[in-house]
Structure 1
Amino acid sequence: MTAFAHQRFEYSWGSVTWEIRSVNHRYLELSFKLPENWRQLEPSLRDALRKALQRGKVECALRVQLQNQEQSLQLNDKLASQILEAANGLKAHIAHTAPVNILELLRWPGVLEPQSLDNDTLSKQLLEGFRNALDEHLATRQREGEALAGLIEQRLESINKIVADIREKMPVIVIAQRDKLQQRIADLNTELDPSRLEAEVALIAQKADVDEELDRLDTHVTEVRRVLKKGGANGRRLDFFMQELNREANTLSSKAVVAESTQAAVELKVLIEQMREQIQNIE
């Protein structure tokens, strides 16, 4: 959602500068900084932004610099032609008519007048410039989104490796816990019913069983990748999966029976939090 666009346009009547900024936000919040003379553009700008964006705090600013219109004159061709036609018509009836003086013609009221700006034309040019700035803004967001997707993919790959490592080590961990329990019994120099020993080992294995959590982690990682590949405005969906991934990491931590599995759960939570922070920038 974070992006910036700056576009400047030069016209015969002056220059226009558009700036569009956006930062992270849960919803779409629009604000405009427009010259008072161009406040009527806001509904069109707001409609265009709502069609193009889904989330983000967006600020749109317009600066217009007009040239000195007092020095810009426009010839009224139609009026000048009518005056010349009338003068030529008089020549046909008056033998000694003086030729038409061009300077005198230009002094005729309405023939040469200050050039006025057509507000409709200016509005179209301003909106066209805004659309160009919006295209640049969207392109910037697209490039940032692609970069963020790459960073998220790296962390998903790290999560897959941690999950695979835990899955591979869990049988060894359960056996080690069984051996540790047997050693403690031997150190106490006491007899223990074999069935009771097996029950205790089964209880340890049950408490340490994290296959369900590992399966869900794999499923969530696959779904996050699918959403990233699909594209579009999926920031909220991705944020939901970050919550689910964090839930499974917390469960792994609570079921940890050795320091190694606790450390793995901590690493998972760090990776998930890094992704969550990046996803705040995704629409």
Structure 2
Amino acid sequence: MSANVRSMTGYGRGEHIAEDRKFVVEMKSVNHRYNDMTIKLPRSLASLEDKIKKRVMQDVFRGKTDVFISFETFSADDVEVKLNTGLAAAYAEKLRELENLLGVNGADLLSLTAKFPDVITVEKAQKEEDVIWAALSPALDAAVENFVAMRSVEGENLKQDILKKGEYIAKLVEEVKVYAPQVVVEYQEKLNNRLKELLDNVDVDPQRVAMEVAIFADKGCIDEELTRLDSHLIQLREILENGGQVGRKLDFLVQEMNRESNTIASKANDIRIVKATIALKSEIEKIREQIQNLE
């Protein structure tokens, strides 16, 4: 498996001419939770649909992919004209009845009958499946190669963008780490000053104050959440650098990052931490939107 990170959107085209036949394969895809594939091809190639699907799935693992296959022939041997004699006779008989009913004579029954659907059909002559597959395969391979290349280029762009957002999140986490201890110190100072005001500068029991501060610090402690965010950011970089099918892994990881940021926000007792957490959550949401495009 390639180490590239791929987008789920892309386009690829391939064509090949062999034995008086020209095959054209076009592929396009959009985001999808699973690997959903639709193959549209001429009826005469219907027996190859399973082979085509297996070939595409060797390199495409996720997304809604449409594969369009067409071919034209330059040989009369590939064309077979068929006449449905029973249907033609039935049409002619009904036209005669209509003539008698309306009292109209002289209508060109042959011309009218031939114009009805399915009386005369032109079909591709059936050839050996192996011969057709050998001619189609190069076009299909080229389309898949171009398709994957385009998804890889877009995927690399998404990867770099997500890594930059991860760096910004790491910076915000470091800011919160600086603010967190200050919150406890500032709370202790405010508590001491407030008690002195209320008690008219009477000395306050330091143990009582220490207990209140300890309770405050415990309720607002976000050390575990910050540590887990650090770990998640490391995993984010590792997953992207390792490449492959990263979409579902990153989707789960971002959910965990969002959970930690929500917990920090709920415990925050400082406007600086609140602002940093809002910015952090915004970047995580941007990453979540980006990874919806990754295979």
2:262 aligned to 226, 229, 250, which one? Answer: 250
1:39 aligned to 38, 46, 50, which one? Answer: 46
What is the one-letter code of the residue matched to 1:236? R
CA distance in 2: counterparts of 1:280 and 1:48, whole angstroms = 25
Counterpart of 2:271 in structure 1 is 259
Deviates more, 1:186-195 or 1:146-155: 186-195
**Aligned-residue identity in percent:** 35
Deviations for 1:137-156, whole angstroms, at most 9, x for unmatched residues?
11111111111110110011
Question: Which structure has the greater CA radius of gyration?
Answer: 1
Deviations for 1:135-188, whole angstroms, at most 9, x for unmatched residues?
111111111111111011001101110111111122222211222222322332
Cα distance, 1:253 vs structure 2: 0.3
1:1-283 alignment to 2 at 5 Å? 1-10=8-17, 13-67=20-74, 69=76, 119=128, 120-189=130-199, 191=202, 192-283=204-295
What is the one-letter code of the residue matched to 1:122? I
CA distance in 2: counterparts of 1:273 and 1:209, whole angstroms = 24
Cα distance, 1:264 vs structure 2: 1.2
Cα distance, 1:15 vs structure 2: 3.1
Counterpart of 2:102 in structure 1 is none
Cα distance, 1:69 vs structure 2: 2.8
Deviations for 1:28-76, whole angstroms, at most 9, x for unmatched residues?
1111111111111111111112222221111111122233638x9xxxx
CA distance in 1: counterparts of 2:62 and 2:19, whole angstroms = 37
CA distance in 1: counterparts of 2:220 and 2:133, whole angstroms = 69
Unaligned runs of 5+ in 1: 73-115
CA RMSD of aligned residues (A): 2.2
Unaligned runs of 5+ in 2: 1-7, 80-124
Secondary structure, aligned partner of 2:281: helix
**Quick check: 2:29–2:63 contact (8 Å CA) kept in 1?**
yes
What is the one-letter code of the residue matched to 2:145? D
Secondary structure, aligned partner of 1:209: coil
CA distance in 2: counterparts of 1:6 and 1:266, whole angstroms = 44
Deviations for 1:186-225, whole angstroms, at most 9, x for unmatched residues?
3323554322211111112112211111110000100111
What is the one-letter code of the residue matched to 2:65? V
CA distance in 1: counterparts of 2:260 and 2:248, whole angstroms = 19
Cα distance, 1:14 vs structure 2: 4.5
Cα distance, 1:228 vs structure 2: 1.0
**Quick check: 2:32–2:62 contact (8 Å CA) kept in 1?**
yes
Deviations for 1:62-110, whole angstroms, at most 9, x for unmatched residues?
122233638x9xxxxxxxxxxxxxxxxxxxxxxxxxxxxxxxxxxxxxx
Give the number of aligned pairs. Answer: 240
What is the one-letter code of the residue matched to 1:169? Y
CA distance in 2: counterparts of 1:188 and 1:29, whole angstroms = 70
Cα distance, 1:6 vs structure 2: 2.1
**Quick check: 2:258–2:284 contact (8 Å CA) kept in 1?**
yes
TM-score by length of 2: 0.75
Secondary structure, aligned partner of 2:269: coil
